[in-house]
Structure 1
Amino acid sequence: MDTTRATVTRQRSWRSRRLDPEHSLGLRLTLAAVAAFLVLVPFALIALLVLGAWPPLLRLDASIADAFHGYAQDHSAWVGVMTVWTHVFGPGPLRVAAVVVVVWLVRRGAPRLAIWVVVTMAAGGLLGALLKLLVGRDRPDLLDPVARAAGYSFPSGHALNATLAAGVLLLVFLPFVRDSRRGRVALWTAAVLVAVVTGLSRIALGVHWTSDVVGGWVLGAAVVAATAAGFATWRSGSGRPSARALREGVEPELADQRPEGGRA
Structure 2
Amino acid sequence: MRRVPALAAAAFLALLSLDAGQWGPLQAADTAISAAFRGYGERHPDLIAVVRVATDIAVTWLYLAAGAVATLVLHARRRRRDALFTGAVTAVIPILWSLMHLWLHSPRPTGGFVEVHTNGFPSGHTSNAAAAALAAALLLWPRLRPRGRVLLAVLATAFALFVGLTRVMLLAHWPTDVVGGWLLALAVVPPLALLTRLPDRSGAVAR
Q: Structure 1 residues 124 and 89 mapped into 2: Cα distance closer, same or farther (>3 Å)?
A: closer
1:153 is matched with 120
In 2, the alpha carbon distance for the partners of 1:188 and 1:77 equals 30
Q: Structure 1 residues 176 and 214 mapped into 2: Cα distance closer, same or farther (>3 Å)?
A: same
Aligned residue identity for 1:120? V
1:183 is matched with 148
2:40 is matched with 71
Alignment pair present for 1:230 and 2:195: yes
Aligned residue identity for 2:33? I
1:171 is matched with 138
Bigger Rg, which one = 1
Q: Is the 8 A contact 1:51 1:135 kept in 2?
A: yes
Alignment pair present for 1:217 and 2:186: no
TM-score by length of 1: 0.74
Aligned residue identity for 1:183? G
> Unpaired runs of 5+ in structure 2?
none
1:137 is matched with 106
Alignment pair present for 1:62 and 2:27: no
In 2, the alpha carbon distance for the partners of 1:184 and 1:222 equals 21
1:108 is matched with 77
In 1, the alpha carbon distance for the partners of 2:59 and 2:202 equals 36
Structure 1 outlier segments of 4+, above 4 Å: none
In 2, the alpha carbon distance for the partners of 1:92 and 1:170 equals 21
In 2, the alpha carbon distance for the partners of 1:162 and 1:190 equals 12
1:18 is matched with none
In 1, the alpha carbon distance for the partners of 2:94 and 2:132 equals 11
> What is the aligned-residue identity percentage?
32
SS at structure 2 position matched to 1:149: coil
Aligned residue identity for 1:122? A
Aligned residue identity for 1:127? L
Deviation of residue 80 (structure 1)? 2.0
Alignment pair present for 1:39 and 2:4: no
In 2, the alpha carbon distance for the partners of 1:241 and 1:39 equals 28
In 2, the alpha carbon distance for the partners of 1:136 and 1:226 equals 28
In 2, the alpha carbon distance for the partners of 1:119 and 1:141 equals 34
SS at structure 2 position matched to 1:85: helix
Deviation of residue 95 (structure 1)? 2.1
What CA deviation, in whole Å up to 9, does each residue of 1:200-226 have, x standing for no partner?
A: 101000110000000010011111121
1:242 is matched with 203
Deviation of residue 241 (structure 1)? 2.6
> Unpaired runs of 5+ in structure 1?
1-30, 244-250, 255-264
Alignment pair present for 1:198 and 2:198: no
Deviation of residue 176 (structure 1)? 2.8
Structure with more contact order per residue of length (Cα contacts < 8 Å, sep ≥ 6): 2
In 1, the alpha carbon distance for the partners of 2:73 and 2:139 equals 11
Deviation of residue 70 (structure 1)? 0.8
2:64 is matched with 95
Q: Is the 8 A contact 2:33 2:175 kept in 1?
A: yes
In 1, the alpha carbon distance for the partners of 2:66 and 2:142 equals 19
Q: Is the 8 A contact 1:155 1:215 kept in 2?
A: yes
TM-score by length of 2: 0.93
Deviation of residue 174 (structure 1)? 1.9
Deviation of residue 194 (structure 1)? 1.2
Deviation of residue 36 (structure 1)? 2.2
In 1, the alpha carbon distance for the partners of 2:150 and 2:60 equals 25
